[in-house]
Amino acid sequence: MANGVFSSSRAQISEKTLRTDKWWLQPLITFSVLVSFIIYATFRAFENGNYFVEPLISPFYSPCLSTECVQGASLLGTPFGIIHIFGMTLSPALIILIFPLGFRMTCYYYRKAYYRAFWFSPPACAVAEPKEKYTGETRFPLLFQNAHRWFFYAGLVFNVLLTVDAILAFRNPEKQWGHLSVGTLVLLANATFLWLYSLSCHTCRHTVGGRLRNFSKHPLRYKAWTLVSVLNHKHQNFAWISLFGVAFADFYVRQVATGAFTNFYFF
């Protein structure tokens, strides 16, 4: 049954789209990058090792909350014992990964990106989508996208923890303060990008002031909203930069932990 642009009342045109530009390029890039990240992140989350080397901890494993964690990695203690599922030991990364993952999955920008690249809903503007039915975010599971706010709050907690990790990295392997290594810079950059990503988020913009009707009665929140709005313009960029940042920080820690890299100290 013909639907959408092929409905009988519409102008009869047989092409799905008459766009002549490379409209498929953007979703293809999004798809490739996200799939690469998922493969790498899955591998690392299940690897359950090479995530800590004094004073650096991988953002995938921080905070490390299980008794499984290697010594020194558990900043917040170990409320979880070792968990086994189907006879396999659950990596401590999997306990916490739901929060950053949930934040990104429900992010207004990533939603656009993956709805286009993975669901083809739509693949690009004015390109007919293949599916017959569409209910958007009106019912489960996509209704769950409305939980973005809770992941945002959780994300802030993680930003604090990863900032602490970056600060702890101003130490040398003997835990003496006042040192700076490439690892310090990597963790610092990671934390900064994550803050920029969180603070530029649409939920943040709404929470700090967007929900107000009269800005003039709340000058400070108006100021905050104005600042967040400026960041919000670049939310898409921060989303990608911080994604690469997390992956790179983890990769760097892993390479140092395996001994492939030496964490160079400036002083």
Partner 1 sequence: MARKLKLRIWRGDSTSGGLKDVTVDVNEGEVVLDVIHRVQAEQMGDLAVRWNCKAGKCGSCSMEINGKPRLACMTQCASFDEDETITITPLRAFPVIKDLVTDVSFNYKKAMEIPAFEPPVGMKPGEPRMEQIDVERSQEFRKCIECFLCQNTCHVIRDHEENKKSFAGPRFFIRIAELDMHPLDILRNRKKTAQEEHGLGLCNITKCCTEVCPEHIRITDNAIIPMKERVVDQKYDPVRWLGSKIRKREGIL
157 binds partner 1 (CB under 8 A): no
CB 170 within 8 A of CB 187: no
In the bound state with partner 1, the residue whose beta carbon lies nearer, of 90 and 212, is: 212
User: Minimum distance between the CB of residue 21 and partner 1, rounded to whole angstroms?
Assistant: 8
- Please give the residues from 201 up to 240 whose contact with partner 1 meets the rule CB under 8 A: 202-203, 205-206, 210-216, 222, 232-233
In the bound state with partner 1, the residue whose beta carbon lies nearer, of 149 and 179, is: 149
- Please give the residues from 8 up to 27 whose contact with partner 1 meets the rule CB under 8 A: 8-13, 15, 17-21
Question: Residue 93 is which amino acid?
Answer: A
In the bound state with partner 1, the residue whose beta carbon lies nearer, of 111 and 179, is: 111
141 binds partner 1 (CB under 8 A): no
Binding part of the chain for partner 1, among 37-45, 74-82, 92-100, 144-152 by CB under 8 A, reads: 144-152
The 3-class secondary structure across the chain, one letter per residue, is CCCHHHCCCCCCCCCCCCCCCCCCHHHHHHHHHHHHHHHHHHHHHHHCCCCEECCEECHHHCCCCECCCCCCCCCCCCCECCCEECCEECCHHHHHCHHHHHHHHCCHHHHHHHHHHCCCCCCCCCCCCCCCCCCCCCCCCHHHHHHHHHHHHHHHHHHHHHHHHHHHCCECCCCCECCCEHHHHHHHHHHHHHHHHHHCCHHHHHHHHHCCCCHHHCHHHHHHHHHHHHHHCCHHHHHHHHHHHHHHHHHHHHHHHHCCCCCCECC
Q: Which of 122, 155, 183, 245 binds partner 1 (CB under 8 A)?
A: 122
Nearest partner of 40 among 188, 220, 249, 218, judged by Cα: 249
User: Minimum distance between the CB of residue 85 and partner 1, rounded to whole angstroms?
Assistant: 30
Question: Residue 262 is which amino acid?
Answer: T
111 binds partner 1 (CB under 8 A): yes
Total interface residues for partner 1 by CB under 8 A: 55
User: Minimum distance between the CB of residue 130 and partner 1, rounded to whole angstroms?
Assistant: 9
CB 122 within 8 A of CB 129: yes
| CA separation for the pair 39, 97 (Å, rounded) | 14
Q: Which of 77, 136, 157, 264 binds partner 1 (CB under 8 A)?
A: 136
User: Minimum distance between the CB of residue 36 and partner 1, rounded to whole angstroms?
Assistant: 22
Q: Which of 33, 80, 149, 189 binds partner 1 (CB under 8 A)?
A: 149
Binding mask 81-110 for partner 1 (x = CB under 8 A): ---------------------------x--
User: Minimum distance between the CB of residue 32 and partner 1, rounded to whole angstroms?
Assistant: 19
Would you tell me which residues interact with partner 1 (CB under 8 A)?
3-5, 7-13, 15, 17-21, 108, 111-112, 115-116, 121-122, 125-129, 131, 133-138, 142-143, 146-149, 202-203, 205-206, 210-216, 222, 232-233
